[in-house]
Amino acid sequence: MTKPYVIGIDMGGTNTAFGIVDARGNVIASSSIKTRKHSKIEDYIDELHTEISRLIEANDAQDKIQGIGIGAPNANYFTGIIEDGVNLPWPTPIPLADLITEKFGIPTIITNDANAAAIGEMTYGAARGLKDFIMITLGTGVGSGIVINGQMVYGHDGFAGELGHVIMKRNNGRMCGCGRTGCLEAYCSATGVARTAREFLEIRNDPSTLRNIPVDEITSKDVYDAAITGDKIAKDIFEYTGEILGQALADFASFSSPEAFVLFGGLTKAGDLIMKPVKESLDKNILGCYRGKVKLLVSELKESDAAILGASALGWEAK
Amino acid sequence: MTKPYVIGIDMGGTNTAFGIVDARGNVIASSSIKTRKHSKIEDYIDELHTEISRLIEANDAQDKIQGIGIGAPNANYFTGIIEDGVNLPWPTPIPLADLITEKFGIPTIITNDANAAAIGEMTYGAARGLKDFIMITLGTGVGSGIVINGQMVYGHDGFAGELGHVIMKRNNGRMCGCGRTGCLEAYCSATGVARTAREFLEIRNDPSTLRNIPVDEITSKDVYDAAITGDKIAKDIFEYTGEILGQALADFASFSSPEAFVLFGGLTKAGDLIMKPVKESLDKNILGCYRGKVKLLVSELKESDAAILGASALGWEAK
């Protein structure tokens, strides 16, 4: 018999958020710990266990947890392992699913954070009822989760959906954290927006309130704050970001012909400042047979809940 | 009970090839007609019916046909319709599946030609046993068929997999038949190779046997013939083509993390002249987590049979 709750854990580079979720997607209780507090993964898992056990007891949910789902960077759905090349304080690979299953005595499934977000959106958010959509997460980096025919695309090795690393500029592209140049992520992440700000302020001479901030400290939030007061350079930064993102989405349509793109993450808070240029660029660049047929949606989940909800949805699959 | 044979029909812009295929992928009998002979689609279907009936009778296969599968340009798997925007002599949309089902009294499924090729390769060719691969067809145009988790990707509307129209050059890209500029197809199709030849001959001054051919008549076959005699410009044309194709494949890996790319069609006959630069460019441009893990395969099906076989494989699904 299916138990009434699942646990969702969103393991970020800074914070690890977790919660108890019911079958309707209500977050019954949630909390978080600092990911980097412990130099050993075992200690981190001990604290996670202590805190989650506390939540479970407080909500009288002992023996009522069907499974645990975790969204984590570079987490491989097939192997349950956090693979190399990730910004975490412990040596990789980390057999996270096994470690958690053993500690909690509850079956656990992991996947990367963008996939978890897509599953959350499909189960509880803007993508409910959609069988073919692409989720793009616009945070510190750019991630993606692809759903085709109602199924998450994991690829043959669990690493499908790295659309943040499709090349948008083949000449003189920006350095990307992946070691290559010109990736979508280098332009359309929060970091990318801040880089665009630095570039625009350097090459342009018109006034901008952004010039009052030390150039290396400008964040995408600063650009947003300036743009809503009408600052021309700030608005142009979002135009530029949106144009590139729209070009990318147009290419992605040629792959899986999705019913919708769902945008998620900090940058979407800029609203029309970013969504309008994305939509215009998508319409302008997309192949004729897709034009006007692909919806452009924004996540309907509270960002704080979305990652927990998405991860938790995996808990229902866990055996 | 399943019947022993299916019919595969490959409807091209010039010829329509068809054959009777058994469950092991043997083409029992095949023939072809001219696609453009009839100004009315009904007359074309009449001739197709006459010729296929002749094959069926000659092989004593009456009442032994399970289904008909058709690969045709812009053919929509979901609706059974050949949609607008295609180079055929009849007005579109054409409800092809219904017209054929009605005429033959046999259930019929249609899909586009590249998808049919991918299904053929998965059922009988180089992709046997692969659950995640991307087929790229390099002919007059560039087509693609994407298989994820053992299933053909059709997208929400039947139009997934137009990878020939992903943008490879965002600035000063070549005009493409789709009305946009810089598409993969404008560079890596047979036509694209001929265009590269014309460009290279114009901007370079070194000698080439290609200069003996009127520049507007150069074909990709001419480039191949020159390259195998060691002609430098001809070899550079394949290098250039392969480099762009490798860049494209590297981006496609970030989508579905396939186990293999399978290349198909005329250009692959150039062998190492094209495959070596494709492989080098793929290795150089691919994201680290995929590097060295994606196979680069060439179709194992005879080109004349492949399209019929691929289309025929759909016949087993028809009900």
**pLDDT value at position B306?**
81
Distance from the Cα of B67 to chain A's closest Cα (Å) equals 24
Q: How far apart are CA B299 and CA B311, in angstroms?
A: 15
Indicate the pLDDT class of residue B301, thresholds 50, 70 and 90.
confident
Residues sharing a CB contact under 8 Å with residue A54, sequence separation 6 or more, in sequence order? none
B83: left (phi over 0), alpha (psi -120 to 50) or beta: beta
**pLDDT value at position B124?**
87
Q: Is A162–B254 a contact, with Cβ atoms under 8 angstroms apart?
A: yes
User: How distant, in Å, are the alpha carbons of A155, A252, B100, B259 from that of B256?
Assistant: 5, 11, 34, 9
Length of chain B: 319
B262 backbone dihedrals φ, ψ, rounded to 5°: -115, 120
**Rounded-to-10 torsion of CA B244, B247, B253, B255:** -90
Judged by a CB distance cut-off of 8 A, whether residue B104 touches chain A is: no
Greater confidence (A43 vs B86) lies with: A43
ipTM: 0.93
Indicate the pLDDT class of residue A14, thresholds 50, 70 and 90.
confident
Q: How far is CA B208 from the centre of its chain?
A: 31
Q: Is A167–B293 a contact, with Cβ atoms under 8 angstroms apart?
A: no
Q: How far apart are CA B251 and CA B149, in angstroms?
A: 19
**pLDDT value at position A319?**
81
Residue A168: its chain B contacts at CB < 8 A?
Answer: 170
**pLDDT value at position A13?**
81
Indicate the pLDDT class of residue A31, thresholds 50, 70 and 90.
very high
Judged by a CB distance cut-off of 8 A, whether residue B284 touches chain A is: no
Indicate the pLDDT class of residue B305, thresholds 50, 70 and 90.
confident
Greater confidence (B24 vs A226) lies with: A226
Q: Which of residues 129-158 of A touch B (CB under 8 A)?
A: 131-132, 146, 148-149, 151, 153-158
Residue B251: its chain A contacts at CB < 8 A?
Answer: 166-167, 251
A11 with A45: CB under 8 angstroms?
Answer: no
What is the CB neighbour count within 10 angstroms for residue B28?
Answer: 15
Which residue on chain B is closest to A253 by alpha carbon? B160
Indicate the pLDDT class of residue B55, thresholds 50, 70 and 90.
very high
Residue B293: its chain A contacts at CB < 8 A?
Answer: 157
- A167, A179, A250 ranked by CB distance to B251: nearest: A167
A158: left (phi over 0), alpha (psi -120 to 50) or beta: left
Judged by a CB distance cut-off of 8 A, whether residue A181 touches chain B is: no
> Is residue A133 within a helix (H) or strand (E), and if so which, with residue range?
strand A133-138
A231 backbone dihedrals φ, ψ, rounded to 5°: -60, 125
Type of residue numbered A106: I
Mean pLDDT of the region A215-243: 97
In chain A, % of residues over pLDDT 90: 87
Judged by a CB distance cut-off of 8 A, whether residue B178 touches chain A is: yes
Ranges A194-208, B112-126, B237-251: which has the least confidence: B112-126
pLDDT in tens, A148-199: 999 999 999 999 999 999 999 999 999 999 999 999 999 999 999 999 999 9
Judged by a CB distance cut-off of 8 A, whether residue A317 touches chain B is: no
Q: Is A257–B83 a contact, with Cβ atoms under 8 angstroms apart?
A: no
Distance from the Cα of B19 to chain A's closest Cα (Å) equals 30
Indicate the pLDDT class of residue B188, thresholds 50, 70 and 90.
very high
Of A212, A277, A269, the residue nearest A241 (C-alpha): A277
pLDDT in tens, B199-236: 999 999 999 999 999 999 999 999 999 999 999 999 99
Of A226, A163, A209, A154, the residue nearest A189 (C-alpha): A163
A33 backbone dihedrals φ, ψ, rounded to 5°: -130, 170
Q: How far apart are CA B156 and CA A260, in angstroms?
A: 9
> Is residue A43 within a helix (H) or strand (E), and if so which, with residue range?
helix A41-58
Which residue on chain B is closest to A161 by alpha carbon? B255
Q: Tokens 């180089």 correspond to what residue?
A: B126
Q: Which two tokens stand for residue B161?
A: 């997999």
Pairing relationship of beta strands A295-298 and A260-264 according to DSSP bridges: parallel
**pLDDT value at position B307?**
82
A65 backbone dihedrals φ, ψ, rounded to 5°: -100, 115
Is the model's pLDDT at A73 over the cut of 90? no
B207 backbone dihedrals φ, ψ, rounded to 5°: -70, 155
Q: Is A163–B256 a contact, with Cβ atoms under 8 angstroms apart?
A: no
- The SS3 of residue A304 is helix
Q: How many CA atoms lie within 13 A of A49 on its CB side?
A: 14
Residue B250: its chain A contacts at CB < 8 A?
Answer: 167
Judged by a CB distance cut-off of 8 A, whether residue B169 touches chain A is: yes
Question: Could you tell me what percentage of chain B is helix, strand and coil, using 3-state DSSP and rounding each to the nearest 5?
Answer: 45, 20, 35
Is the model's pLDDT at B73 over the cut of 90? no
Q: Is B167–A251 a contact, with Cβ atoms under 8 angstroms apart?
A: yes
- The SS3 of residue B84 is coil
Mean pLDDT of the region A28-47: 95
Residue A287: its chain B contacts at CB < 8 A?
Answer: 162, 165, 178, 180
Q: Is A167–B290 a contact, with Cβ atoms under 8 angstroms apart?
A: no
**pLDDT value at position A91?**
92
- B156, B157, B166 ranked by CB distance to A251: nearest: B166
Residues sharing a CB contact under 8 Å with residue B278, sequence separation 6 or more, in sequence order? B242, B243, B245, B246, B249, B263, B296
B292 with B279: CB under 8 angstroms?
Answer: no
Judged by a CB distance cut-off of 8 A, whether residue A289 touches chain B is: yes
Residue B159: its chain A contacts at CB < 8 A?
Answer: 257, 289-290
3-state SS string for A199-223:
HHHHHCCCCCHHHHCCHHHCCHHHH
Q: Is B167–A247 a contact, with Cβ atoms under 8 angstroms apart?
A: yes
Q: Is B255–A146 a contact, with Cβ atoms under 8 angstroms apart?
A: yes
Is the model's pLDDT at A12 over the cut of 90? no
Residue B168: its chain A contacts at CB < 8 A?
Answer: 170
Which residue on chain B is closest to A151 by alpha carbon? B149
Q: Is B287–A162 a contact, with Cβ atoms under 8 angstroms apart?
A: yes
Is the model's pLDDT at B85 over the cut of 80? no
Q: Is B293–A148 a contact, with Cβ atoms under 8 angstroms apart?
A: no
Residue B156: its chain A contacts at CB < 8 A?
Answer: 131-132, 257-259
Is the model's pLDDT at B18 over the cut of 80? yes
Q: Is A148–B169 a contact, with Cβ atoms under 8 angstroms apart?
A: no
A204 with A233: CB under 8 angstroms?
Answer: yes
What is the CB neighbour count within 10 angstroms for residue A319?
Answer: 6
B contact test, residue of A147, A153, A281, A287 with most B CBs within 10 A: A287
Judged by a CB distance cut-off of 8 A, whether residue B79 touches chain A is: no
**pLDDT value at position B12?**
85
A contact test, residue of B92, B133, B162 with most A CBs within 10 A: B162
Average pLDDT, chain A: 94
Pairing relationship of beta strands B15-22 and B5-11 according to DSSP bridges: antiparallel
pLDDT in tens, B30-48: 999 999 999 999 999 999 9
- B151, B252, B259 ranked by CB distance to A149: nearest: B151
pTM exceeds 0.90: yes
Q: Is B83–A289 a contact, with Cβ atoms under 8 angstroms apart?
A: yes
Q: How far apart are CA B260 and CA B251, in angstroms?
A: 13
Of A14, A9, A178, A197, the residue nearest A104 (C-alpha): A9
A50 burial level (CB within 10 Å; 0-12, 13-18, 19+): exposed
Q: Which domains does chain A have, with CATH numbers?
A: 5-120+304-315 (3.30.420.40), 129-299 (3.30.420.40)
What is the CB neighbour count within 10 angstroms for residue B257?
Answer: 24
